[in-house]
Amino acid sequence: MLNHVRYASQGLLADTKFLDTLRAYDKDNIPPAIITAVRPYIDMPEFDPSVVKKASAAAYGLCSWVRAMEAYDRVAKVGTPPACYGQNASACTYTQSNTCTRYS
């Protein structure tokens, strides 16, 4: 597996537009399959940025980005209750069950 990861990472890092691709990534629409595939790595102690940094600065940056995208996805889904989509969020209060109650 290590050779496969090394081969894949060399291809990605050789792409001159790779950083632009990361910056332009649509973090608000991450496919659930991607999040499901990434979550096991988030729990691995060796995927911690402080551990990865010892091996490579580039890997550290990518590890931090992946963890940030996963965290953003997790928080965004909790932070915007489905009951308020399309409504003026400032006109809503949120109950413990994340339902929107309109107030005047």
Closest CA to 38 of 71, 15, 6: 71
**Under 8 Å between Cβ of 38 and 70:** yes
Report if residue 94 sits inside a domain.
no
The boundaries of the domain holding residue 7 are: 2-79
Q: What is the pTM of this model?
A: 0.64
Per-residue model confidence as pLDDT tens digits over 13-58: 677 888 899 999 999 999 999 999 999 999 999 999 999 999 888 8
- Asked whether residue 22 is assigned to any structural domain, the reply reads yes
Backbone angles phi, psi at 48, to 5 degrees: -80, 135
55: in domain: yes
Q: Supply the DSSP string of 59-102, one letter for each residue.
A: HHHHHHHHHHHHHHHHHHHHHS-GGGTTS-GGGEEE-TT--EEE
Instruction: Let me know if residue 103 belongs to a domain.
Output: no
Residue 100 lies in a domain: no
Tell me if 10 is assigned to some domain. Answer: yes
Six token digits for residue 8: 């894949």
- When computed from its CA atoms, the radius of gyration of the chain, rounded to whole angstroms, is 18
- Please state the domain count of the chain: 1
Q: Which residues contact 104 (CB under 8 A, 6 or more apart)?
A: none
**pLDDT over 90 percentage in the chain:** 44
pLDDT given for residue 87 in this prediction: 52
101 in any annotated domain: no
Inside any domain, residue 50: yes
